[in-house]
Structure 1
Amino acid sequence: MAGTAERMAKNQKQVAISEFFEKNKHFLGFDSLTRSLITAVKESVDNSLDACEEARILPEIRVEISKIDDKKNIIELKTEDNGPGIPKRSIEKVFGQLLFGSRFHAIRQSRGQQGIGITGVVMYCQLTTGRKTHVRSKIATETSAAIVDIGLDTRKNKATKTSEGRELWERPDGTLKEHGLEITCRMKAKYQRGRQSVYQYLRMTSIVNPHADITFVDPDGEIHHWPRVTERLPRKVESIKPHPHGIHLGTLQRMCTESTDSRMTSFLYKNFSGVSSRAAKQLLEAAGVLEKAKPKLMKPDQIRALIEAFQGERMLNGKAVKLLNPPTNCLSPIEELLIKKGLSKTIDSRFVTTMTRSPTVSQGNPYQVEVGLIFGDGMAADKPVEVLRFANRVPLMYQQGGCLLTKAIESVDWRQYGMDQAGGRGVPKGPAAILVHLASTNVQFTSEAKEALAENGEVMDEVRKAMLEMGRGLRKHLEKKKKMVKVQEKFELVNDIIPAIAEKSAAILQRPVPDLAGSITRIMGAVIAEGTTTWNKETKMTDVAIKLFNYTSRARAYTLLASWPERAGASMENNTTGGRKEATGVWAWKLDTLEPGETYTITYSLSGLEKGDWTETDVFYRGSQEVIGASKMDEKLLEEIRRQEARAQSEEEGGEEEASTEDSEEDDAPSEVDDDQTKPSGQQTLMGFGSDA
């Protein structure tokens, strides 16, 4: 038996991560010929977008696909961007070493994280065609571009290089390229059209990256171009520290072992987000750990007790220690206006509604949900709506049925919002597309291929709430549109028939044609609102006009309200009718008397926007008589907006007071923070207002 054990032990050996993925390439998304091509495009484009955004460059990306051998399914893929490029010394590690990257330990929103993707493409190309991947990189500080052919030694997880050199990189117009990256690779793959295709992936990418200019040349030579619709780059994300609610026992144990802090209070205060100096003391007291204990000397039982205090299982005076939420400057949502522009540039729309929910937290990880719905011309009314799923601005192309985002859509009864849905279950039917985007520092996927989101009850509830709110907006729009059509038909009918009858009657009786305005008003018996929102080329502003027609026999009094993109940085100009601010993004005008047959007009302009940012203005009213073309103001919703504003203001003031208190505490107890280390800078709270945590 001893000999058998020795022999078995000799056969055991360590396997390199690259060797593992070589035999299990399906884990990375290379499990079919069509999917392999999409995965390769995805990894290249994601890297380009991340690099451009980090360098604060508006992305220009070009993707070309050529068929080299149709019978053997050999395809060449070339991607080019205008990013910062990669220094020559780093190319071999970026493209030829798995798990090499800059984002794995950073807690912030990003497309790539593990450092696997693009090296996986190099490995797959080498595995299926035996060819290396050609890389050309130009950085701004060098006059020429570095070129190299990169392969992967899967036994050692190291790059193999050939054909190294430098060359001038000329654009098609003859000018020299300042900076950028070009990747050319050949692989066994298959190009196809349809919903799961390279075209669809790039189309979806352009929707959630409206700041990117994307060009795609397909194997037939046809050029598809999605121009950028905004010059504004996404908000720059900042890395944050881990939050106690998302820490595991082993992680805390490692952090304590590696810590150089002399006291546990300073360790907690400086290494975690959401932990003030006061909270650090309370956590230690709840866990039964001395404040002056050294992190390196913490025992397993003490670490376990501290984890229990983190999770609220160990309490202080019968209550869990209150921790601040982690900052949300680690997230970069697309925002409502840009989602609208992104959707509208790819789908002809009759109606678009979008929503960006407030940031929230799940297991210590900040996340934010965004949704959009568009009714499009030319889309099939008898088929399921198009579902556009995204995570951190990356399209999710496969496993739609097993994705949390799809399940959230299916959980809503869309019939009550004017869409067809058999039995109130499943994806609804109609000429529409539904967009769902999850931005998070830690997106939980069902597999390494990142094709669907795993179950999470908190995220599910947040997505569902967004869907319900968006559905209510859709229902109001459809009801308003239906009423307007009926009124328009009635108005046209009355204006055609009544004057004709009056003229013939007057001719028969040989009398003058009477004034019919009063009669038409009594017959119509309605108050109508009409709004127009147009882009003014000369002033570079968005002009808004709201008209209120009183087609009733009585004088009316109303308060008209209109939405406007205040949160997006717009300013209201030329508002000659005055009014007042009701809440953020809501303006009101009071109309004391509108006589029968009279028209009241409100005009103003919005500055600080780009063309296409604001194309429709929602109009609301307060008053006893229904206004067709406007919605009755939801006072509960308005009050909720005000409460959120008050809460945000309170948190801002409270945060400043907390920061002041903590500063004085730190001054009184200098031993809590080592002299050679500075106190963490101000962080952003859940509501997005600055405070010291």
Structure 2
Amino acid sequence: ETSAATVDIGLDTRKNKATKTNEGRELWERPDGTLKEHGLEITCRMKAKYQRGRQSVYQYLRMTSIVNPHADITFVDPDGEVHHWPRVTERLPRKVESIKPHPHGIHLGTLQRMCTESTDSRMTSFLYKNFSGVSSRAAKQLLEAAGVLEKAKPKSMKPDQIRALLEAFQGERLLNDKAVKLLNPPTNCLSPIEELLIKKGLSKTIDSRFVTTMTRSPTVSQGNPYQVEVGLIFGDGMAADKPVEVLRFANRVPLMYQQGGCLLTKAIESVDWRQYGMDQAGGRGVPKGPAAILVHLASTNVQFTSEAKEALAENGEVMDEVRKAMLEMGRGLRKHLEKKKKMVKVQEKFELVNDIIPAIAEKSAAILQRPVPDLAGSITRIMGAVIAESTTTWNKETKMVDIAIKLFNYTSRARAYTLLASWPESAGASMENNTTGGRKEATGVWAWKLETLDPGETYTITYALNGLEKGDWTETDVFYRGSQEVIGASKMDEKLLEEIRRQEAREQGEEEESGEEESSIEDAKENDAPPEIADDQPKPSGQQTLMGFGSDA
């Protein structure tokens, strides 16, 4: 018979590692008496009061399901009611890499402990092996700025030397009147939800009319990598005269208390949402409307206001990043509302013209006893607009997303445009069956040039997106370049496009520089290998985690 392993697990908060006790084995039976062959069950007993509302177990699990769309969650409340949040994607979160602490984010006590526990024979070896962003060159420069010998042993470092080294880390001690340049820490230690999955997570818990999301590029604050993600959803059945629902998360964990004192809430309140089509008294505070705003911060070292980890503490760099994400998301919302409003007006005009003009033509022709004239030119002149329509549908047979963009010229002149469309390239999607050609403008932006679109003509672009799941991509944003406004599309923001290109160039440059530095570090390691560590000696510590500094164990 197959038995299951049982163990009691605790948490050593100082070392940030699990502790195991009472290990054993037992038979694991299903309710029908049969034995389970595989699986995992976690049981936790606690004494607590069950409450309902915004700070309830139900709300916590609901929020957890939004930022973990790969999870299937079933909750049975004390009244026996079953709540189910189904899995909406088969993609698991990407595996993250552990990183070493960065000198810019280290504290004096941590540095002292690292020196005391180190088995390295030289300070240069200690620095480039236990810190990220420190090459052999930077290690020597840091020691020179701190006035510490390269051959000094970490264990022999005196308190004033450690403090001097910390000051060199922070740029307070200069070398040739300049702070020692260090590489940013790697960002592959972060676990963002990603835009497509935020949309799916929000849509599965709230009936939506419109969803927009934004994932900012990873950046660094005080030596700690972090990444900001935001989402906004207009939902059916939500009160239009009450403040929007604010969904705050840190490393996929819901933050349910102290909303008013949280940095994420303050970033939302700092935006004037009135200019984006939402109600907000005095342009301050949480806006009102049938909507929910999601903010997620992924970081190796989340700064909370207290040990309870209920709200994020003030941080100017993070605040600016969240605010930028909110502003960009707000601009997307405004464009959507404006485009929708114009499309409704054009549709009403088009239907009216198509109903009235043919009827007038038929009656006039009957009275004059003449044939009904061709009305295409007349309708075109009356409409006086260029209209874009796009459809995004899931193809069950090909398992791809089929996209069609149509451009109608209802004006009396020939037009020339460049049409652009967004696509989830960063999510791993590839463009297929793009018979119209075109070219890539930036990551996630494709362009097609239309030399001439004569009056009354229609131009159609079709392509498919491969590598996505059903529901990943449900709407395509269309942009244009040209003199005549295109209803149903947004004029391309060239500044935003240029910013995307600059970001790509920066990331590519950082990767190349990082590769060169890593090569330098590897060469240095070979030339200055540390002595072997006995099994009974403590191993060098240095992993940066959510809890702060921990051991490699």
Q: Return the TM-score normalized by structure 2.
A: 0.91
Contact 1:277 1:662 in 2 (8 A): no
Q: What is the CA deviation profile of residues 550-574 of structure 1, one whole-angstrom value per residue up to 9, with x for unaligned ones?
A: 0000011111110001111101111
Compare 226-235 and 169-178 and name the one that shifted more: 169-178
Give SS of 1:423's match.
Answer: helix
CA contact (8 A) 2:118 2:539 kept: no
Q: Secondary structure at the match of 1:591?
A: strand
The 3 A distance-change label for structure 1 pair 449 and 501 is same
- 2:545 maps to 685
Q: 1:691 to 1:665 in 2, by over 3 A?
A: farther
Per the alignment, do residues 161 and 670 of structure 1 end up closer, same or farther by CA in structure 2, a change over 3 Å counting?
Answer: closer
What CA deviation, in whole Å up to 9, does each residue of 1:321-351 have, x standing for no partner? 0011111121111111110110111111111
1:564-593 Cα deviation digits (max 9, x unpaired):
011111011111111111111111111111
* CA–CA distance in structure 2, aligned partners of residues 238 and 587 of structure 1: 32
Q: Report how far residue 167 of structure 1 moved.
A: 3.9
SS in 2 for 1:182: coil
* Cα offset, 1:164, TM superposition: 10
Cα distance, 1:388–1:157 mapped onto 2, change above 3 Å: closer
Whether the aligned pair in 2 keeps the contact of 1:655 and 1:691 (CA below 8 Å) is: no
In the superposition, relative to structure 1, how do residues 230 and 266 fare at CA in structure 2: closer, same or farther (>3 Å)? same
Cα distance, 1:359 vs. partner?
1.2
**Could you tell me how far 1:174 is from its partner in structure 2?**
5.3
Cα deviation for residue 484 of structure 1 reads: 0.6
CA shift, 1:497, in A, is: 1.1
Residues 437-474 of structure 1: CA distance to partner in whole angstroms, max 9, x if unpaired?
Answer: 01111112223332211222221111111111111111
Residue in structure 1 matching 2:194, options 324, 335, 352 = 335
C-alpha distance in structure 2 between counterparts of 1:226 and 1:183, whole Å: 19
Structure 1 contact 656–692 (Cα < 8 Å) conserved: no
SS at match of 2:425: coil
Using the TM superposition, give the Cα deviation of residue 643 of structure 1 relative to its aligned residue in structure 2, in angstroms. Answer: 1.6
Tell me the distance in 2 between the aligned counterparts of 1:397 and 1:364: 27
Q: Secondary structure at the match of 1:296?
A: helix
C-alpha spacing 1:170/1:668, structure 2 compared with 1 (3 Å):
closer
- CA distance 1:657–1:325, shift in 2 (3 Å): closer
Q: 1:685 to 1:328 in 2, by over 3 A?
A: farther
Q: Would the alpha carbon gap of residues 157 and 195 (structure 1) be closer, same or farther in structure 2, given more than 3 Å must change?
A: closer
* 1:391-435 superposed Cα distances (whole Å, 9 cap, x missing partner): 111111111111111111001110111110000010001111000
Alignment map for 1:68-217 (pairs within 5 Å) = 143-145=2-4, 167-172=26-31, 175-182=34-41, 188-217=47-76
Are residues 691 and 572 of structure 1, via their aligned partners in 2, closer, same or farther at CA, if it must alter by over 3 Å?
Answer: farther
Q: How many Å separate the matches in 1 of 2:540 and 2:494?
A: 42
On the 8 A contact 1:331/1:441 being kept in 2, the answer is yes
Preserved CA contact (<8 Å) 2:422 2:444: yes
Change in CA separation of 1:421 and 1:361 when aligned onto 2, cut-off 3 Å? same
Distance in 1, matches of 2:94 and 2:51, equals 35
Q: CA deviation at 1:662?
A: 6.4
Residues 167, 253 of structure 1: alpha-carbon distance in 2 compared, 3 angstrom cutoff: closer
Identical pairs, percent? 95
Please, which of 260, 276, 297 is the counterpart of residue 156 of structure 2? 297
SS at match of 1:186: coil
Q: How far apart are 1:536 and its partner, in Å?
A: 0.6
Contact 2:183 2:514 in 1 (8 A): no
Q: Which residue of 2 aligns with 1:662?
A: 522
For residue 666 of structure 1, report the CA deviation from its aligned partner: 5.5
- Note the C-alpha offset of 1:595: 0.7
Is the 1:279–1:321 contact (alpha carbons within 8 Å) kept by the matching residues of 2?
yes
**Alpha-carbon contact 1:532-1:544 (below 8 Å) kept:** yes
The equivalent residue for 2:251 is 392
Alignment check: 8 A CA contact 1:517 1:597 kept? yes
Q: Secondary structure at the match of 1:344?
A: helix
Distance in 1 separating the partners of 2:345 and 2:406: 18
- Deviation string for 1:110-136 (max 9, x for gaps)? xxxxxxxxxxxxxxxxxxxxxxxxxxx
Deviates more, 1:479-488 or 1:170-179: 170-179
Cα distance per residue 1:79-124 (max 9 Å; x no partner): xxxxxxxxxxxxxxxxxxxxxxxxxxxxxxxxxxxxxxxxxxxxxx
Q: CA deviation at 1:224?
A: 1.3
Among 625, 630, 645, the alignment partner of 2:484 is 625
Q: 1:555 to 1:385 in 2, by over 3 A?
A: same
C-alpha separation between the residues in 2 aligned to 1:178 and 1:593?
66
Distance 1:578 1:469, change over 3 A: same
Q: Secondary structure at the match of 2:40?
A: strand
Mark the CA change 1:690 to 1:533 in structure 2 (over 3 Å): closer, same or farther: farther
Aligned-residue Cα RMSD (Å) equals: 4.8
Q: Deviations over 1:464-505 (max 9, x none)?
A: 111111111111111111111111111111111111111121
**Partner residue of 1:537?**
396
CA distance in 2, matches of 1:235, 1:157: 21
- The verdict on how the C-alpha distance between 1:508 and 1:202 changes in structure 2, with shifts beyond 3 A counting, is same
Alignment partner of 1:204: what SS?
helix
After TM superposition, give the deviation of residue 300 of structure 1 in Å: 1.7
Structure 1 residues 663 and 417: alpha-carbon distance in aligned structure 2, compared to 1, 3 A threshold: same
Change (3 A) 1:675 1:594: farther
The answer to whether the 8 Å contact 1:360/1:686 transfers is: no
C-alpha deviations, 1:277-325, integer Å up to 9, x for none? 0000000111111111111211222111111110001111111000111
CA distance in 2, matches of 1:443, 1:158: 18
Q: Shift of the alpha carbon at 1:180?
A: 4.2
Pair 465,677 (structure 1): closer, same or farther in 2 beyond 3 Å: farther
User: Post-superposition shift, 1:168?
Assistant: 2.2
Report the number of matched residues: 552
Structure 1 window deviating more from structure 2 (517-526 vs 666-675): it is 666-675
CA contact (8 A) 1:564 1:617 kept: yes
1:255 to 89, 114, 121: 114
Q: CA deviation at 1:362?
A: 1.7
Q: Is the 8 A contact 1:328 1:684 kept in 2?
A: no
Could you list the per-position Cα deviations for residues 663-684 of structure 1 after superposition, in whole angstroms to 9, with x for gaps in the alignment?
2795499999999999999999
User: Is contact 2:418–2:480 with CA below 8 Å preserved after alignment?
Assistant: yes
User: Is the partner of 1:689 in helix, strand or coil?
Assistant: strand
> Per-residue deviation at 1:655?
2.7
Alignment partner of 1:678: what SS? coil
In the alignment, structure 1 segments of 5+ residues that lack a partner are 1-141
Distance 1:473 1:173, change over 3 A: farther
After the TM superposition, which of the residue ranges 514-523 and 192-201 deviates more from structure 2? 192-201
Q: Distance in 2 between matches of 1:152 and 1:330?
A: 21
Flag the 1:623–1:276 CA change in 2: closer, same or farther, 3 A.
same
Mapped to 2, the partners of 1:609 and 1:689 lie a distance apart of 38
For normalisation by structure 1, the TM-score amounts to 0.73
* Residues 461/592 of structure 1: CA separation in 2 closer, same or farther (3 Å cut): same
Q: Which stretch shifts more, 276-285 or 256-265?
A: 256-265
Does structure 1 retain, via aligned residues, the 8 Å contact 2:16–2:551?
no
Q: Distance in 1 between matches of 2:420 and 2:354?
A: 30
Structure 2: 5+ residue stretches without partners: none
CA distance in 2, matches of 1:182, 1:281: 51
Q: Is 1:265 the equivalent of 2:108?
A: no
The separation in 2 between residues aligned to 1:678 and 1:167, in whole angstroms, is 35
